[in-house]
Amino acid sequence: MDRVRSVLPRLRKPRVFTKVLALPLPHRPLFPGCCIPIYVKDSKLLAAMVEKQKQQSPYVGAFLVKDDPRSKVTSSDIYERKGEGLSNRLHEIGTLARITRIQGDQVVLTGHRRLVLQTPTHTYKPLKIPVMPMWINSRFYLLNTLDDKYDDVIKATSFEVLSTLRDVMKTRTLWTGDIETYNKHIGDFNSPRLADFAAAISYSDKRQCQQVLEESDVYKRLRLSLGLLKNQMEIHKIQEVIATSTEEKELGLKIDDKTALIDKFWVRIYANKEKMSSQALQVMEGEVKKLQQFEASSVEFIVTRKYLEKYLDGLDVLPPFCS
C-alpha cells in the first residue's frame, strides 16, 4: 500500500526542524516530492500524528527500517521498540514528510526534503528524534557547475533518464496518474528531482531506493536512478518473453514451426491419398492452403489445425478407400 501514488511538482518549503516525530517505514523509503499512503498500527504514534495535524505542525521524519538478519521486519516489531533501540533500526537518511491526510489508521504522507538522523536523547514512545537537513553536496556541486564539462554531463545524463523513463512508463498501465503528473509538470523537474522521481516510481527493492535517497551527489544520484530504470526495462523484456513462450506452449505451437507443421500435413495427406475420395482430397488440400494464410497465433489457425489433425488421425485407422 505504500507505492507512490503521485508526484508533486512544487512544494512549499517548511521551516527547518531540529526535532521530529520518528515514523518507521518498513517497506520503501519516501522521496521528496512524492506522496504515499501507509498504515500506522501503533496507536500512540497515530494519536501523536493526529495531534500534530491539529497543532498546524503536521510534519514527521519518515525513515526506512533496516533489515534485521536475525528476524523478518514486521510493523509490530518496530513499533514495540523505543529510544535508541528504535533509532538503531532506522537508516540514517530519511525524509521530512507532511501529514496530508489521516483516515482511520491510514496516513497519506508528502515528502519534502532529506533528513539526517541524530542520536535520540530520550526513550519515550512515540519517539522524537533530533535531525538536521541533508542538502545536496553544495560545495562540490557549485564548484563543478562552473565547469562546462560537468554541466554537460549532468544534462546528458538527465536526458538519458528522461528517455528511459518514457520507455518504462509505456510498459506500466498502473502508472496512469504518475504519467499525467509527469507530462504536465516535467518542465518543473530539475536534475535532483528527476532522479528522485525515477527511483520513486520504479519497482526496485528498498535497498536500491534507499541508496538513491542517501546519495548527495547529483550526477551519481542520476546514474543510480538510471540503472534502476534500465533494470525495469530488462525485467519487462523478460516478462514479455515468458508471456509469449507461455502462450505458444498453450497453443502447442511456436510461430517458427508453422512451416514444418504445414509440411507435415502435406506428407500425411498424400500418405493417406488412397483412403480418400477425390472430393475429400480437394477439401484437405484447400484446408492446408488456408492454414498457410493464417497467423500461427490466430483462432482461425488453431481451429483449422485441429480440424486437419482430427480428420487425418481418423484416416490412419481406416483401410484404403474403395470407390
Residue 207 sits in the same domain as residue 176: yes
Percent of the chain with pLDDT over 90: 19
pLDDT at 149: 63
Residue 129 sits in the same domain as residue 11: yes
Q: What is the CATH number of the domain that holds 171?
A: 1.20.58
Please write the tens of the pLDDT for every residue from 249-273. Answer: 655 555 557 888 888 888 888 887 7
Q: Round to whole Å and give the CA distance between 139 and 142.
A: 5
pLDDT at 272: 79
pLDDT at 33: 86
Q: Does a structural domain hold residue 277?
A: yes
Residue 112 sits in the same domain as residue 152: no
Residue 172 sits in the same domain as residue 112: no
Q: Is the pLDDT of residue 152 over 80?
A: yes
- Which carries the bigger pLDDT value, residue 30 or residue 190? 30
Residue 120 sits in the same domain as residue 201: no
Q: Does a structural domain hold residue 58?
A: yes
The pLDDT-based confidence of 291 (bands split at 50, 70, 90) is confident
pTM of the model: 0.66
Domain span holding position 263: 255-315
The pLDDT-based confidence of 71 (bands split at 50, 70, 90) is low
Which of 133, 150, 167 marks a domain boundary?
133
Q: What is the 3-state secondary structure (H, E, C) of 114-133?
A: EEEECCCCCCCCCCEEEEEE
Q: Does a structural domain hold residue 320?
A: no
On whether the CB atoms of residues 204 and 232 are closer than 8 A, the answer is yes
Q: Is the pLDDT of residue 67 over 60?
A: yes
In total, how many domains does the chain have?
Answer: 3
In the chain, the DSSP E strands lie at 6-7, 19-25, 34-39, 59-64, 93-103, 106-117, 128-133
Which of 230, 250, 270 marks a domain boundary?
250
pLDDT at 185: 57
Helices and strands (H, E) in the chain, number of each type: 12, 7
Q: Is the pLDDT of residue 2 over 60?
A: no
pLDDT at 173: 57
Residue 273 sits in the same domain as residue 233: no
User: What pairs with residue 131 in β-bridges?
Assistant: 117
Across the range 148-172, mean pLDDT stands at: 81
- Which carries the bigger pLDDT value, residue 12 or residue 272? 272
Which of 221, 250, 279 marks a domain boundary?
250
Percent of the chain with pLDDT over 70: 71
Provide the residue count of the chain: 323
pLDDT at 255: 53
Q: Does a structural domain hold residue 86?
A: yes
Q: Does a structural domain hold residue 95?
A: yes
pLDDT at 276: 79
Q: Which of 310, 314, 271, 269 is nearest to 288 (CA)?
A: 269
Residue 128 sits in the same domain as residue 241: no
Residue 179 sits in the same domain as residue 129: no
CB neighbour class for 264 (10 Å; exposed up to 12, middle 13-18, buried from 19): middle
Buried residues in 148-157 as b, exposed as e (16+ CB within 10 A): eebeeebeeb
User: What pairs with residue 132 in β-bridges?
Assistant: 116
Q: Does a structural domain hold residue 116?
A: yes
